[in-house]
Structure 1
Amino acid sequence: MAVAVAAVRAGWRYARPVGWKLGCCPGQSRAGLSGAAGRWPGAAPKGAPRLLGVAALALGGALGIGHTVRGRLKSQEQLAKQAPPELAEGRLQLTLYQYKTCPFCSKVRAFLDFHALPYEVVEVNPVRKQEIKFSSYRKVPILLAQEGELLQQLNDSSVIISALKTYLMSGKNLEEIVSFYPPIKTVNDQGKEVTEFGNKYWLMLNEKESRRLYNGKEARTEEMKWRQWADDWLVHLISPNVYRTPAEALASFDYIVHEGKFGVVEGAVAKYVGAAAMFIISKRLKSRHHLQDDVREDLYQAVNKWVAAVGKDRPFMGGKEPNLADLIQPQMTLFKGGMK
């Protein structure tokens, strides 16, 4: 356990700060699959542009986990080079709307790359968001999937991945699969109505398909457990660790602006307004989730918990091959360079 902590601490020195937005992540946003079937981008009524100050908040919250568990987890590039398992032939035309620096977009990209699914990428301007004006759902990732004459819009990275994995393994049509993840209205801890989705971490497979993918029922349950853990706990450790000080917040937004789709003026405003906003928000999140005074300790404990769960006898949570729980790894290794 001490070795893992030491690796994490060493990794922060070289970690490159990357931000996700309050409008980016399924851990924050609770929308999943929107009713865009059969509707091309641009068909929906146009929404008014967000004010720049509000948009700066949408840049927010950041993952900043460094290269923490070397030897245990492989890079996204290494995963993409491995041969994917035998899958049904894909028939989808995919377009991913993303922020390049959003770790939840990175998670979807890692899934698509691993399974060698071709897709187009549309980089979204996080201030104006004109690229997703067709959608009433205003957060990324958004995935448009064209299957024959049917166009489906999928939101929320975990739902996107569950639906696509089910599609690949079962050969069912996507419209049917979408119906397996029904929207559920609920009220969160802050008293706001949010939309969750049933079966979010569950693959809709029959017994034969499940045996082909999993080495027993326990493996399937374990995968679901750790996918949910990443969304429900790990994600809440990120902003408090990345935006601990004004200097760290500025460093993070300097990278976000450099990698994002900003104009000159937008970039300058986003850097300073966004950094200030996220510094304040990170303190609220720290209090809300009852984190320790030294938030690094919560992060180290979470990483140690993951390493212990994987154990010494398998390279991945999925065993010899990564499973969907291992998709937390692209989120971790995305952030290299600036954390201390």
Structure 2
Amino acid sequence: MSDGVGSLYMLNTCPFTWKVRALLDHLDLPHERVKINPLKIKKSVSFAGDWGKTPVWKMSDGEVVVDSTPIMKRIDEVYNNGNLWKMDDQVRRDKWMEWADTKMKDATIPILYGSIGSALSTTRSVAKHERFGFFTGRIYAWLGFPIMWGIIAKKRTKKTGMEPGELWHHLLNEWTEEIGEKSFFGGNTPHIVDLAVFGYMQSIEMHSKAFRLIENHSKGMLWFNRMRNSTVAQ
């Protein structure tokens, strides 16, 4: 392990990994990022037991934490005295953290893979950004998109009853209405909930075709850019 507070075992395109990255960057915590071959995740994180997914956080003292939200809370607790998770209105905090981890999570696959064009564009992007082998990445790019579009994304889109772009605009309306006239969910400074939502959006931003569907939401993008400017390291 390199010098730092811990190691993040990750996929570059994983939305849940981006949540943790947003927190680590915001706190400017030095850490190691261990990029995993998507076809060897279970083997790469076998030290985390039966989890078999990303992200996995391994602290410098050997403690292992799995699942993005618990990882964020633990990092904040150990290295920031829990200040980013603290909030007087705990009911509001818990409600919107759950909202991010259900509503935004469920909306991510449809916007990335909701049409043939976006699905092909996203799988090509994933093949480029992840640690595939040369031929494996190209096979994934061409064979992965029919599965993601034809089975997974279609099923989730049907469940919501909205087209992917429409759904994200609806969610960003809810989010910005909750923030109101304040700069962030946390008021004048970001809260962990801000960082979670920011992480989900960053995971879409790296896929330009999908991100174009939401970047015309003016209030949402104003908040997104405030978050980017508030983040210490990129």
Query: How does the TM-score come out when normalised to structure 1?
Result: 0.55
- The whole-number CA distance in structure 2 between the counterparts of 1:293 and 1:108 is 28
Deviation per CA, 1:134-156, whole angstroms, max 9, x where unpaired? 34321000010133xxx211110
Deviation >4 Å, runs of 4+: none
- The whole-number CA distance in structure 2 between the counterparts of 1:238 and 1:112 is 22
- The whole-number CA distance in structure 1 between the counterparts of 2:152 and 2:138 is 20
- 1:319 pairs, out of 168, 177, 187, with 187
Specify the alignment match of 1:159 in structure 2: 70
Deviation per CA, 1:270-296, whole angstroms, max 9, x where unpaired? 112221111111112223xx3125343
Specify the alignment match of 1:123 in structure 2: 35
Deviation per CA, 1:22-65, whole angstroms, max 9, x where unpaired? xxxxxxxxxxxxxxxxxx9xxxxxxxxxxxxxxxxxxxxxxxxx
Specify the alignment match of 1:338 in structure 2: 209
Specify the alignment match of 1:65 in structure 2: none
Contact 2:16 2:68 in 1 (8 A): yes
Specify the alignment match of 2:5 in structure 1: 93
Where 2:139 maps in the other structure, the secondary structure is helix
Where 1:233 maps in the other structure, the secondary structure is helix
Deviation per CA, 1:233-279, whole angstroms, max 9, x where unpaired? 12111212221222211100111111110111110111122211111
Contact 2:12 2:35 in 1 (8 A): yes
Where 1:335 maps in the other structure, the secondary structure is helix
AA matched with 1:284? K
- The whole-number CA distance in structure 2 between the counterparts of 1:228 and 1:257 is 30
Specify the alignment match of 2:218 in structure 1: none
- The whole-number CA distance in structure 2 between the counterparts of 1:121 and 1:168 is 18
Which structure 1 residue ranges, 5 or more long, are not aligned? Answer: 1-39, 41-90, 171-202, 204-208
Does residue 270 (structure 1) correspond to residue 140 (structure 2)? The answer is: yes
AA matched with 1:283? K
Specify the alignment match of 2:23 in structure 1: 111
Does residue 239 (structure 1) correspond to residue 106 (structure 2)? The answer is: no
Where 2:39 maps in the other structure, the secondary structure is coil
Deviation per CA, 1:202-227, whole angstroms, max 9, x where unpaired? x6xxxxx89x954xx22x33222211
- 1:134 pairs, out of 37, 41, 47, with 47
Contact 2:14 2:203 in 1 (8 A): no
- The whole-number CA distance in structure 2 between the counterparts of 1:293 and 1:167 is 40
Identity fraction in percent: 25
Query: How does the TM-score come out when normalised to structure 2?
Result: 0.79
Bigger radius of gyration among the two: 1
- 2:123 pairs, out of 248, 253, 260, with 253
- 1:305 pairs, out of 174, 179, 198, with 174
AA matched with 1:166? E
AA matched with 1:286? T
Specify the alignment match of 1:221 in structure 2: 91
AA matched with 1:134? F
Q: Alpha carbons of 1:283 and 1:294: their partners in 2 closer, same or farther (altered >3 Å)?
A: same
Specify the alignment match of 2:59 in structure 1: 145
- 2:160 pairs, out of 291, 295, 299, with 291
Select the structure that is richer in helix.
2
- The whole-number CA distance in structure 2 between the counterparts of 1:271 and 1:92 is 35
Contact 1:124 1:261 in 2 (8 A): yes
AA matched with 2:45? I
Contact 1:240 1:283 in 2 (8 A): yes
Deviation per CA, 1:170-191, whole angstroms, max 9, x where unpaired? 4xxxxxxxxxxxxxxxxxxxxx
Q: Alpha carbons of 1:297 and 1:254: their partners in 2 closer, same or farther (altered >3 Å)?
A: same
Contact 2:110 2:157 in 1 (8 A): yes
Which structure 2 residue ranges, 5 or more long, are not aligned? Answer: 214-234
Where 1:305 maps in the other structure, the secondary structure is helix
Where 2:44 maps in the other structure, the secondary structure is helix
- The whole-number CA distance in structure 2 between the counterparts of 1:332 and 1:117 is 21
Where 2:169 maps in the other structure, the secondary structure is helix
Where 2:54 maps in the other structure, the secondary structure is coil
- The whole-number CA distance in structure 1 between the counterparts of 2:96 and 2:13 is 23
